[in-house]
Every structure is written in C-alpha cells, then in structure tokens.
Amino acid sequence: LTGTSREQRAFQYLLAHAIPGDPHHILQTFDQWCYHCEHLSCVGPDKGRIVERVLLERAPLRVLELGTYCGYGTVLLAQGLPPGARLYTIEGDPRHAAVAEKVIRLAGFSEETVELIVGPSEEVIPRLREKHGLMNANLVFMDHWKRCYLRDLQLLESHQLLAEGATILADNVLFPGAPHFLQYAKTCGKYHCKVHRASLEY
C-alpha cells in the first residue's frame, strides 16, 4: 500500500531507531522489527549466535557471503571479523543490494572492510580473483537460494577459491532444504560435516 518494499520499510525503521555506527544495535533493531512488525528472512539472533561462535573459533581473514539480502548477515559477519580481515558479499537482486548497502554503511563498515558485489553468484564467483582480488576464502557463509548451494560450492572449488581448511557455513539446509548440497558435502570426502540444530528465524 505504501509503494515501498518490506526491506525498505525495515530500513526506514532502522534509520529512526538504530544507533549509527553500532553494529550490535543495528542487529537488535532489525530483530525488533522482524519480531513485532514484518517478517524478513534474516539470519536472526538464534542462528546468529552460531555464526558468531564460528567466527570466534576460526578468526577468518577473508570471508565470502553468498546472499546479502538486507545486510543483516553481513553486519553480523563484519562485526566478528578479526583486525585486517575483509568481507566480500554477493547479492543477485539490485533492489535488495541497494538496501543492504545503506544498512552496511549505517553500521559503520567501510568499503575497505566490506565489499558488496551485485550480480548472480554463478557469474560473480568466477571473477572474484581477477576483478575483486579475492585469492581464496577462509570462511564462506551461504544464505542465498538453496538450489544454488551445490552449484556455487563446486564453482568455488573449481576456481580454487577455498583456502586450505576453509569453513563453509550453510543456512537452512534441512528446511526449506538443500538435499543435493548436503549429500555432496557428506559423501565427496573433502569435508567434515556438522549440522547445527536451530529454530527458524523469528
């Protein structure tokens, strides 16, 4: 009715209520909006704690996020990066990317720390090294279309974009589900797999 998208309305709420430059407060304000106003498919606080724990354990210097959406996961990842680390995030929908860009900058992260790349993941991944300078990633967070998980993992492998000992963190593999990705990860012999039990966001 307002002529603006849910994502844009959420950003307007952030502008009105969140503290600029405070990533933790940005995420809390996002959560308030999603709990009490409109549902957005963000990572949310429950699964967010799993992401934070992995970041703490791994301390990755090069992180790749597939599926920026509104920037919630991006801010979550960026606030947990060790000093000198860099985050590359890919979003296929230009409208979502426009909102995410504003959210990321509102949270206080510069382009030196977080680079947002707009375009389909299958087109962006092969160009990451030569166009964006990502030699390889220590941590990959997948939170885009579930049907793309396996294809994009294999693209990362074939372009040698996974650092030795890299961690792949994939959201919602059980529901709505990414069965082919899960089967490949468990049976190809390249990965040690662990399923984290969590509730759906919000």
Query: Catalytic: which of 91, 101, 152, 201?
Result: 201
Token code pair at residue 178: 């990414």
**Residue 143 bears catalytic tag:** yes
Query: Catalytic: which of 7, 47, 152, 172?
Result: 172
Query: Catalytic: which of 7, 143, 186, 194?
Result: 143
Distance CA 184, CA 154 (A): 10
Query: Catalytic: which of 57, 146, 164, 186?
Result: 146
The verdict on whether omega for the bond into residue 176 sits within 30 degrees of 0, i.e. cis, is yes
**Residue 171 bears catalytic tag:** yes
String of DSSP letters for 152-180? HHHHHHHTT-EEEEEEEEESSIIIII-HH
Query: Catalytic: which of 171, 186, 190, 194?
Result: 171
**Residue 190 bears catalytic tag:** no
**Residue 138 bears catalytic tag:** no
**Residue 172 bears catalytic tag:** yes
Distance CA 20, CA 200 (A): 28
- Catalytic residue list: 143, 146, 171-172, 201
